[in-house]
Amino acid sequence: MDRITILLADDHVLVREGTRELLEHEKDMEVVGEAGDGEEAVRLTSDLHPDVIIMDIAMPKLNGIEATKQIKAIYPDSAVLILSAYDDDQYVFALLEAGAAGYLLKDVRAHELVEAIRAVYVGESVLHPTIARKVINRFAPSQGKPATEATLDQLSTREMEVLKLAAKGMTNMEIAHELVLSVRTVQGHLSNIFSKMQVGSRTEAVIQSLRWGWLTLEDIQ
């Protein structure tokens, strides 16, 4: 079985040690490196090509936002999962725009972190409930505001069904079960959705759909 290779980027040694110890109990995961600052995170990503980077925001030399931008530029196949104590809007939206696949706060339980790693590894987005609310509140259109940016008929009926379920936070497997499809078919629909909407992730697709009025708050709650 292929293991998910992971790089830990946090300037607190105790945090890295604790996270490593947690992940070493997972048979499908392997911590391949640790970085104590943003520059080292970028360098080790270039050297090790990890599947997932668990990234803090406040780090010496290069913060998590700049490190994420550089990592996604040099090795876009690596998924960056933010694990931070900060939920400030300026950090949240800067990191999502930089290409982070997920954003968790450090109050998450151990099993939630483990499942988040597995999710971003297969291309899914993971947002802490507090972060998800920020995204919704920022990009949800005002009541009665018409969709003016794009027409809804760009997506097929089935693609719209998949998008709505993805927006609720369902995994590919859960969507497949709900719609009685194969996981591969769901992945194909998501790929088509991203291509049509010119986005690169679920999070971007949801944000854009809210902006355009394709999704409402009721659709994603």
pLDDT tens-digit profile of 184-197?
898 888 888 888 88
Largest CA distance in the chain: 51
Tell me what the pLDDT averaged over the chain comes to: 82
What is 141-220's CATH topology? Arc Repressor Mutant, subunit A (1.10.10)
Over range 162-172, report the average pLDDT.
81
CATH of domain 4-136: 3.40.50.2300
pLDDT of 5 over the 60 cut: yes
Over range 144-148, report the average pLDDT.
48
Over range 194-204, report the average pLDDT.
76
Over range 170-191, report the average pLDDT.
86
Residue 195 is predicted with a pLDDT of 81
Tens of pLDDT, residues 52-111: 999 998 888 888 889 998 998 888 888 899 888 887 777 788 887 778 888 888 888 888
Residue 144 is predicted with a pLDDT of 47
pLDDT of 152 over the 60 cut: no
Tens of pLDDT, residues 12-57: 988 889 889 999 888 899 999 999 899 999 999 999 999 999 999 8
Where are the domains positioned within the chain? 4-136, 141-220
Question: Whole-angstrom Cα distance, residue 15 to residue 3?
Answer: 22
